[in-house]
A and B are shown apart, each in its own frame.
Chain A
Amino acid sequence: MLHTLAVLVENNPGVLARVSGLFARRAYNIYSLTVCQTENPDLSLMTIVVEGDTQVIQQVMKQLHKLVVVHKVTNLSNESIVDRELALIRVKVRAETRMEVLQIVDIFRGRVVDLGRNSLSIEVTGDEEKIDAFIRAMKPFGILELVRTGRIAIVRSES
């Protein structure tokens, strides 16, 4: 099972190596990892998606806690969350396919961020399944380039 961990760490050089080294050394499999500075410039937030059963995830969290650079570890999979990925995709278009592509972009609530003679660049956000579905929909037209971020997540407000 995939778990999403939010790991609050020091915003210093070498911290990413320390965290990723721990995963490599203990043979935990990172599915995706996203890092950025938080509103506090001394801290960074790592959103790590890791595969494993409950026992493995508990070990991962305990081992992360042991690193002096780690402030807090939260398993977001135990919480009600909103999670998102972002993808940027450049798709081949011809005069006769352009409208169809734009329609699909609209259905997925994507945005065209760049327009060329023979290609369109599209931005789409959503959870992993939605991005996967969009990529499948674009495939027949010819994907020229594709980049996507890892998962980021935020806890829902209490109702």
Chain B
Amino acid sequence: MQENNTDEQILDEYDNSRKLSTKQSVTAESFTLAQDGKYNGAKCVLQMLEEQGVEIIFGYPGGAVLPLYDALRDSSIRHVLPRHEQGGVHAADAYARAGGRVGVCLATSGPGAANLVTGIANAYMDSVPLVAITGQVTTNLLGSDCFQEVDITGITMPVTKHAYLVKNVNDIPRIIREAFHIAGTGRPGPVLIDIPRDIQAALLPQPEPADKNQRIHIKSYRYFGKGNAGQIDEAVKALKACRKPVVYAGGGIITSGAGTVLTQLVDTLNLPIVTTLMGIGSIDTGHPNSLGMVGMHGTATANFAVTDCDLLLAVGVRFDDRVTSGLHHRFAANATIIHIDIDPAEIGKVIIPDIPIVGDARLILEDILSGLPSQTGNREQTWWETIRAWQQEHPLRYEPSERLNPQHVLETMVRIGGPDAIVTTDVGQHQMWAAQFCRIRHPRHFITSAGLGTMGFGLPAAIGAQLACPEKTVFLVTGDGSLQMTIQELATTRQNNLPIKIVLMNNGVLGMVRQLQKYLNDERFNQIQLQANPDFVKVAEAYGIKGIRVEKPAEMGPAITAALAEEGPVLIDCLISPDEVVLPMVPPGKAIHEMLLGG
């Protein structure tokens, strides 16, 4: 209640100051703000966003977006204020991932726009549908290096699916409709709309609402749906003929909503399946056929199976170097490779497949499934025996000790929190442990910065995920390095009363870099000590968030239980050893079956 009062006071002050400014002087600023009631570009932007079904905008105000913030006051759209634009764009990104919709963020020109760049790149690498709206200096000043001017469409060119600089107010309806269409269809990605302030303030006739039945048509933009029937037949034949198949599933499964049909396919043919980091949740990680993650920190079984298979069904993946170890000729070297992807440019980019199929993963898998006999039973007995033997010999394991093991932290978190919770992560060792040890049952329940590996993604991502799924338990698994990159978003968490449960793996070092220096630089450690770390429990408390410290394994269960019982956000500061390492690990220059196994 008190907060509301404060807000109202601020708004009153703002209203008064506006009245004063219009009376006292006729500056350009007061002129643009004085168009009350008239339909301008900013109002049109909001109307179009409402038409697109946008419910939340993550934005940070500033001089070049004043008309937009004025129009936002009269909009039904909820505005969430991060404490840094990077927090806003990451939250919008995770909101899109968790909610399966287009995320929207908003920033002012210059530094505001520039602060979005990492987040836009992050969404681009992981193919997340995102519309980023930036304010821009007035059109007559464009290109003059004026105050808070930056060429954001130029800067983001390599990391956007498309970008618009709006130069005519009448283009706003078309551009916003196109932007959402481009962001959300085909291989999704971020689209930037840069709107000069005078365009936001310029008047235009109110557009007619869009005809819902009319599809948006952009002449030079195409995307694919169903796969080529001939190629699908080839894939069916190959699947029937093979003896040692493996499915390699990625983020494309989750984007296209192919999780259910994928699981059906795996069950029908009794296929072993490995996933990428982005593909975690495409099938229940507890499914008996799931061999876990493949690649640099994948399970031994997943890496052995991919190396030995005679057929690799690659769906919605891009043969990233964190999966193949960059040694393409040694990756699934003896396998017939079927590559299914919606982006034709991904096919043949890294590995030339034997059977390429361009299109939507769900539609293609449905067609493949319908071409197969309904039950093939327990064939490939010897292949499964080999796989089970690998699993027996090289399970994911750790040595339980008196100290708190990170793996124990995660197992406890999932055991008590349940496999239906959403797990968001930051980037580093904790991320890989989470990928290895968290049971994830559903798509869109494991949210992580995979392609770009952005430290600082985690906390804003948890905010976005919790806002997309208010009824779900959202865990943030983070590290003391990552958390401090966007720690200011604890205020956003508190302000919006988001009940995020933060599990902080606090080892006082940049653990992943330390691990790399240990193995690759012969322990010549450098700049990995996070000296002068704050007391994170006190930091949480300073933001009005409950903090719990855990030092011993036995304290972990009660801490998670207490955190879940708490209505608001909680930070659990888990003190783990800096000597912990993520294993298995494929060293650079080695093929994926030549990993360090440890233990």
Contacts and interface: CB of A to CB of B under 8 A. Distances in A.
Interface of A: 10, 14, 17-18, 21, 25, 55, 58-59, 62-63, 65-66, 68-71
Interface stretch (B215-223, B236-244, B408-416, B472-480): B215-223
Contact of B348 (A58, A68, A69): A58
A66 B153 contact: no
Contact of B161 (A17, A62, A68, A71): A68
Nearest to B167: A13
B157 interface: yes
Interface string B140-175: 000000000000011001100110010000000000
| Interface SS, A side | helix
When A and B form their complex, which 9 residue pairs have the shortest distance between CB atoms, in order from nearest?
A: A62-B345, A71-B220, A68-B162, A68-B221, A25-B158, A62-B344, A63-B345, A21-B157, A66-B345
B349 interface: yes
B348 A65 contact: no
Interface string B346-361: 0011001000000000
A117 to B, nearest CB: 44
B305 interface: no
A132 to B, nearest CB: 35
Contacts of A25: 158
Nearest to A70: B220
A21 B345 contact: no
A18 B161 contact: no
B158 A69 contact: no
Interface string B330-342: 0000000000000
Contact of A14 (B153, B218, B219, B343): B153
Interface string B184-214: 0000000000000000000000000000000
B425 to A, nearest CB: 28
Nearest to B158: A25
B157 A68 contact: no
A59 B220 contact: no
B220 A69 contact: yes
Nearest to B186: A66
**Residue of B218, B343, B345 with most partner-chain A CB within 10 A:** B345
B345 A59 contact: yes
Nearest to A66: B345
A21 B158 CA distance: 7
Contacts of A68: 161-162, 182, 218, 220-221
Nearest to A13: B165
7 contacts: A10-B220, A14-B153, A21-B158, A59-B349, A62-B345, A63-B345, A71-B220
A41 to B, nearest CB: 15
A71 B222 CA distance: 10
Contacts of B343: 66
Given A68-B162, A68-B220, A17 B348 contact: no
Nearest to A14: B153
A58 B356 CA distance: 14
A14 B162 contact: no
A68 B153 CA distance: 14
Contacts of A14: 153-154, 165
Contacts of A55: 348, 352
Contacts of B154: 14, 17
Contacts of B220: 10, 68-71
Contacts of A10: 220
Nearest to B161: A68
A53 B45 CA distance: 46
A69 B162 CA distance: 9
A63 B347 CA distance: 11
Contacts of B153: 14
Given A65-B345, A68-B218, A71-B219, 13 more contacts: A10-B220, A14-B153, A17-B154, A21-B158, A25-B158, A59-B345, A59-B349, A62-B344, A62-B345, A68-B182, A68-B220, A69-B220, A70-B220
Contacts of A58: 348
A59 to B, nearest CB: 6
Nearest to B178: A68
A101 to B, nearest CB: 46
Contacts of B218: 68
B187 to A, nearest CB: 8
A17 B345 contact: no
Nearest to B191: A68
**Residue of A55, A65, A68 with most partner-chain B CB within 10 A:** A68
A58 B153 CA distance: 27
Contacts of B219: 71
Interface string B390-406: 00000000000000000
Contacts of A17: 154, 157
Contacts of B157: 17-18, 21
A91 B101 CA distance: 65
Nearest to B159: A25
Contacts of B161: 68
B105 to A, nearest CB: 20
Nearest to A61: B345
